[in-house]
């Protein structure tokens, strides 16, 4: 028999490596369910456009308002109303020792002035409050009126009566005694207003107030203490 017969069909050479396996392809799932959603993209685009449009509209409105305010100021040059207390006469200002009852008699003459050339002022409500150490002791509602361009108006108010000032403490009592010795009292006059400005066809409304720090000398028998009352300019606050 030949040599191949002894081999019995077997192969005795070096081992044959197994065939290489193909790598598995890996598909990473995309966000949103594995595929691009055109509706989501379209919605995001529309939202971005809407927000951008709103922002541009707001910027445009602010710019227009700024231009309007600037033009208004250049044309009208608005100035705050002026208010002075010309005269204050105090004939009684007695604080009782037992229950802090204040007996008072105060007459005030005041002037309203409109410094504007193109703006009129309607005084629809004028509430005058007299205070001592931040406590109101009298109130008067004054006559209402219209004040034209560069015009003035004089008004008077009389505060007479009695009022318990329950919140006065020992320091306030000491201040009162010092003022009584000197013959000059620190009285505050505060005006709460409801007014309208006349600007062409528009009449915007405001609720400002005037505040006056008065030093009022006592008048007794026609004689005035400490040289008389000094005309006082009051502060205006919108």
For residue 201, is pLDDT > 70?
yes
Contacts of 30 (CB under 8 A, 6+ apart): 36
- Closest by alpha carbon to 111, among 238, 210, 225? 210
Start-to-end CA distance of the chain, whole Å, equals 129
Per-residue pLDDT of 28-71, as tens digits, reads 555 544 455 565 667 677 777 888 888 889 999 998 888 877 77
Reported pTM: 0.71
Q: Supply the mean pLDDT for the chain.
A: 85
Given a cut of 80, whether residue 118 has pLDDT beyond it is yes
């Amino acid at each position: 028999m030949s040599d191949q017969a002894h081999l019995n069909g077997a192969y005795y050479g070096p081992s044959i490596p197994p065939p290489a396996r193909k790598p598995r392809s890996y598909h990473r799932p995309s966000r949103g369910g594995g595929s691009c959603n055109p509706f989501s993209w379209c919605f995001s685009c529309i939202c971005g456009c809407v927000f951008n449009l709103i922002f541009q509209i707001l910027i445009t409105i602010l710019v227009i308002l700024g231009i309007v305010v600037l033009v208004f100021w250049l044309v009208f040059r608005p100035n705050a109303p002026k208010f002075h207390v010309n005269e204050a006469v105090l004939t009684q200002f007695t604080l009782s020792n037992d229950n802090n009852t204040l007996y008072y008699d105060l007459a005030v003459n005041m002037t309203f002035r409109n410094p504007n050339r193109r703006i009129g002022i309607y005084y629809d409500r004028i509430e005058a409050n007299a205070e001592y150490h931040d406590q109101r002791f009298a109130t008067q509602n004054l006559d209402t009126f219209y004040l034209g361009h560069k015009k003035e108006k004089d008004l008077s108010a009389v505060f007479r009566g009695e009022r318990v000032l329950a919140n006065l403490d020992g320091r306030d009592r000491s201040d009162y005694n010092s003022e009584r010795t000197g013959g000059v009292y620190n009285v505050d006059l505060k005006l709460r207003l409801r007014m309208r400005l006349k600007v062409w066809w528009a009449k915007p409304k405001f609720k400002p107030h005037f505040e006056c720090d008065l030093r009022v000398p006592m008048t007794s028998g026609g004689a005035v203490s400490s040289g008389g009352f000094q005309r006082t300019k009051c502060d205006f606050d919108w």
